[in-house]
Amino acid sequence: MKQRPEPLPTYDAAVAIDALAHVLSTLKGAAEVRAFLEDLCTPTELEAMGDRWRVVPELLKGTPYREIHEHTKVSTTTIGRVARCLELGAGGYRAAAKRLGLSRNSH
């Protein structure tokens, strides 16, 4: 991903992320969210986010990383990062999975 010459100050980045979260929360339905994401993100960014979300249900079922990789072709590095977010992250993956009624393992 393209880097800024200097990162935004933490406060400005937090404000921008909060604004983005607010905009997403106002969209109605998957079609509007998809259109917004297609305008906001590059195809590569969308593919990466889709890959991350695709492995969440498998990780929640306790599927081994190698099996997830064989089934999805998502790298084991990405799978590991998603697993760490499920364990130690902000809770977004788990909240979305719960909202969708996806099964969980004992984590």
- Examine the pLDDT at 41 and tell me if it is beyond 90: yes
Residues 56, 32 within the same domain: no
Q: What mean pLDDT is predicted for residues 47-58?
A: 98
**Would you state the pLDDT for residue 54?**
97
Whether 17 maps to a domain, the answer reads yes
- Please enumerate in sequence order all residues whose Cβ is within 8 A of that of 92, keeping only pairs 6 or more positions apart, or say none: 85
* Tally of CA atoms within 13 A in the half-sphere of 102 that contains its CB: 20
Among 64, 61, 65, 73, smallest CA distance to 107 is for 61
Structure tokens at 29: 């339905």
Together in a domain, 23 and 46: no
What pLDDT shows up at residue 8?
A: 67
Q: Is the pLDDT of residue 4 over 80?
A: no
Residue 3 lies in a domain: no
- Looking at the fold, whether 56 and 71 belong to one and the same domain comes out as yes
Owning domain of residue 98 = 42-107
Q: Does the reported pTM lie above 0.95?
A: no
